[in-house]
Chains A and B, each alone.
Chain A
Amino acid sequence: MSERKQNNIWVFLEQREKRPANVGLELLGKAQRLAEPAHGKVCGVLVGHNLEPLIDQVMAYGIHELLIADHPLLEPYCNETFVKVLESAVKEHHPDAFLFGATAVGTDLAPRLAARLRTGLSAHCIDLELTEQGVVGVVPWPEGNLLGHVHCTRTRPQMATVIPGIFEMPKKTGFTGQVIPIQANLEEKDRTYRVLEITREKPRENELAGAEVVVAGGWGVGSKVDWELIKELAAVLNGAVGATRPAVDEGWAHEDQMIGQSGHSVSPQLYIGVGLSGHIHHMVGIKGAKLTVGINQDPEAAIFNHCDLGLVGDLKEIVPALIKAIKSYS
């Protein structure tokens, strides 16, 4: 074990329609920042078919090694073909860590691969650290507004899924690494399901991603009736409505409107958070916001540790007054 290369980090570079998903590149950048001081090595991993056009696109980000599994049976995605190929690659090259984006594909592929390899996977991380014991995943702890640190000391590789939009996109460098093909010994029977159709839907109205203004509500809003206040405030500011997980669980908002660890990351010019505690689960999704405002009846609420401006009081009084005052300028 001691001869093993230390801090050799693999990053799964998810691709969609021959374009690399941003989260893979974000993870490359983070892996490089972790590995460099420790004299580690970062390898990108591409899986699919007819991947040539992608090589230059991802190489530009300064990868030491790019592992490529290119096979007709790897398009479209099927978890078991991908697991089979990645299992043999891991067993041949022995990476210390293997990172995935917490996307639809990443959250499906990584756990099955971890079970195949009998190793640990920390899920939906919002940060990664490199310690003596290797990569540690940082996750919002469900109980209380705390960050938990997930260790995986006994098995390798240490696997993690990381939510998209947390780390910055790396800059392109002139550096060019080496391309290493991964053997894909696949048969038709390895494809355990058949993808009949892939449809991309038009984003719903008020798509959060591009919104200049986001008004988000949480559990403290209290009822579906009062949720109308959130919608109305967003409307007078021409903004999009966002929500925390509890508000979605209550059925006040749609899953698509969720901001945070398991939802969207947003970067509006103005963010207003109403009736939400400021739990890290949600706040991690507004890292890119410019002006941030919190409305909460508790002056000690954690939301005020994340916002520029705070309004303390009953949202049922503040929000209608705010809507009225904003309307007076139009």
Chain B
Amino acid sequence: MPGGLQAHYKKVMKTLRSIVCIKPVPDPKHRASFTLDPKTNTLVRQGMNEAINPLDKNALEAALQLRDKQGGEVIVVSMAPPGSKGVLKEALAMGADRLVILSDPAFAGSDTLATAHILSAGIRKLEPFDVVLCGDYTIDGGTAQVSAQIAEFLGIPNVMHIRAIEVTAENTLIVSSAIEQGAMKIEVATPVVLSVLKEINKPRYVTMMNILEAEEKEMEVWSASDLSLSEPWIGLQGSPTQMGEFTTPEKKKKAELLKGDPKEQAEILADRLHRLGFC
């Protein structure tokens, strides 16, 4: 499997075909209105505003910039329930050429390993490609594992924590990958999976015209059988991890609440900080 795909890409391609993985998440702009289901301790998703995971838009922007420079195609893939179709359309409005949604009741309950398995099956169906781009993490408590695991299932290299991408030669990229207080400059051959950080770019704004144009574009929906996926690898059964019990974080302290109006409270605090030598 790994050798075969690499060999396939020996054929030099002048334009870049990118696949971008995106995920719908609760819209952070509506954070204040999030409510919890007291029984399951999970977010009440019904009627909730969703958005494309912010870093996934950086991944899409990176792919669009590569297309602007090199020519080629940008295909967006998302594993999502049918209800999320609307929010995913923003990817088409941003300029993606195609949007493929992987959706099947059998995917429910998939953990990161099963999700990576499903996404890699979708990506394989879109071969050939040069670059797969993902956000480095999702804001809904994502595990930040999916990009590396997609690469493993596709049998191709991956680099995470990307802050810059440069095409240096046909089939060769130089990327900057963030490490503790620094960066690694890495040369890697395509096809490759890259997961990007927020600092890589600023996702483009979408105009009303873009939105109207996106309405014209088709979205494709692929099910488990379209991907020839079956039980042992997907859903709960294909997931080695299980979410167990939930607990409330231990109350470490009970703060002494200062008395008075805002100004009085501020003055009491400043006085205490002064006595302790902070000011």
Bound-state Cα–Cα, A294 to B71, Å:
52
What string of 1s and 0s marks CB contacts (under 8 Å) between B103-121 and chain A? 0000000011100100000
Provide the residues of chain B in CB contact with A136, threshold 8 Å. Answer: 244
B158 adjacent to A123 (CB under 8 Å): no
Bound-state Cα–Cα, A250 to B160, Å:
23
In the complex, which of the residues A144, A146, A196 contacts B186, with contact meaning CB atoms closer than 8 Å? A196
Provide the residues of chain A in CB contact with B144, threshold 8 Å. Answer: 107, 111, 123-124
Provide the residues of chain A in CB contact with B159, threshold 8 Å. Answer: 108, 193
What string of 1s and 0s marks CB contacts (under 8 Å) between B141-159 and chain A? 1011110110111001111
Provide the residues of chain A in CB contact with B28, threshold 8 Å. Answer: 246, 249-250
Provide the residues of chain A in CB contact with B141, threshold 8 Å. Answer: 139-143
What string of 1s and 0s marks CB contacts (under 8 Å) between B178-206 and chain A? 11111111111100100001110000000
**Cβ of A326 < 8 Å from any Cβ of B?**
yes
B273 adjacent to A270 (CB under 8 Å): yes
A104 adjacent to B151 (CB under 8 Å): no
By size class, the interface of chain A is 35 or more
Bound-state Cα–Cα, A322 to B242, Å:
47
- The interface centre, meaning the residue of B161, B252, B258, B262 with most chain A CB atoms within 10 A of its CB, is B262
Interface contact tally, CB-CB below 8 A:
258
Which of A4-12, A26-34, A300-308 lines the interface with chain B? Answer: A300-308
Provide the residues of chain A in CB contact with B170, threshold 8 Å. Answer: none
Bound-state Cα–Cα, A325 to B269, Å:
9
Q: Is the interface of B mostly helix, strand, loop or mixed?
A: mixed
Bound-state Cα–Cα, A311 to B187, Å:
52
**Cβ of A252 < 8 Å from any Cβ of B?**
no
In the complex, which of the residues A108, A270, A307 contacts B148, with contact meaning CB atoms closer than 8 Å? A108
**Cβ of B257 < 8 Å from any Cβ of A?**
yes
A321 adjacent to B113 (CB under 8 Å): no
Provide the residues of chain A in CB contact with B244, threshold 8 Å. Answer: 136, 148-151
Interface residues of A in 136-188 (CB under 8 A from B): 136, 139-155
Provide the residues of chain B in CB contact with A269, threshold 8 Å. Answer: 278
Residue of A nearest to B25 (CB): A142
In the complex, which of the residues A77, A141, A200, A299 contacts B257, with contact meaning CB atoms closer than 8 Å? A299
**Cβ of A37 < 8 Å from any Cβ of B?**
no
B181 adjacent to A307 (CB under 8 Å): no
A143 adjacent to B160 (CB under 8 Å): no
Provide the residues of chain B in CB contact with A1, threshold 8 Å. Answer: none
Give the total of B residues in contact with A, Cβ under 8 Å.
Answer: 83
Residue of A nearest to B263 (CB): A321
Which of A43-51, A58-66, A91-99, A112-120 lines the interface with chain B? Answer: A112-120
A120 adjacent to B240 (CB under 8 Å): yes
Provide the residues of chain A in CB contact with B169, threshold 8 Å. Answer: none
In the complex, which of the residues A114, A149, A262 contacts B113, with contact meaning CB atoms closer than 8 Å? A114
**Cβ of A55 < 8 Å from any Cβ of B?**
no
**Cβ of A280 < 8 Å from any Cβ of B?**
yes
A308 adjacent to B178 (CB under 8 Å): no
Bound-state Cα–Cα, A7 to B161, Å:
33
Q: Known: A199-B183, A310-B255. Contact between A150 and B241, CB under 8 A?
A: yes
Provide the residues of chain A in CB contact with B111, threshold 8 Å. Answer: 120
B255 adjacent to A141 (CB under 8 Å): no
Shortest Cβ distance from residue B115 to the other chain A in the assembled complex, whole angstroms: 11
B149 adjacent to A309 (CB under 8 Å): no
B249 adjacent to A313 (CB under 8 Å): no
B269 adjacent to A293 (CB under 8 Å): yes
Provide the residues of chain B in CB contact with A225, threshold 8 Å. Answer: none
B143 adjacent to A121 (CB under 8 Å): yes
In the complex, which of the residues B198, B245, B253 contacts A305, with contact meaning CB atoms closer than 8 Å? B253
Shortest Cβ distance from residue B23 to the other chain A in the assembled complex, whole angstroms: 13
In the complex, which of the residues B112, B140, B157, B198 contacts A255, with contact meaning CB atoms closer than 8 Å? B198
**Cβ of B36 < 8 Å from any Cβ of A?**
yes
Provide the residues of chain A in CB contact with B182, threshold 8 Å. Answer: 198-201
A123 adjacent to B143 (CB under 8 Å): yes
9 A-B contacts, Cβ less than 8 Å apart? A16-B180, A79-B148, A144-B43, A148-B244, A195-B186, A200-B182, A255-B198, A309-B272, A325-B269
A contact set with B: CB distance below 8 Å: 16, 76-77, 79-80, 83, 103-105, 107-108, 110-112, 114-116, 118-124, 136, 139-155, 192-201, 203, 213, 219, 236-237, 245-246, 249-250, 255, 262, 269-270, 280, 283, 291-294, 299, 302-314, 317-319, 321-322, 324-326, 328-330
Lowest 5 CB-CB distances: which A-B pairs, in order?
Answer: A142-B141, A120-B240, A325-B270, A310-B255, A111-B145
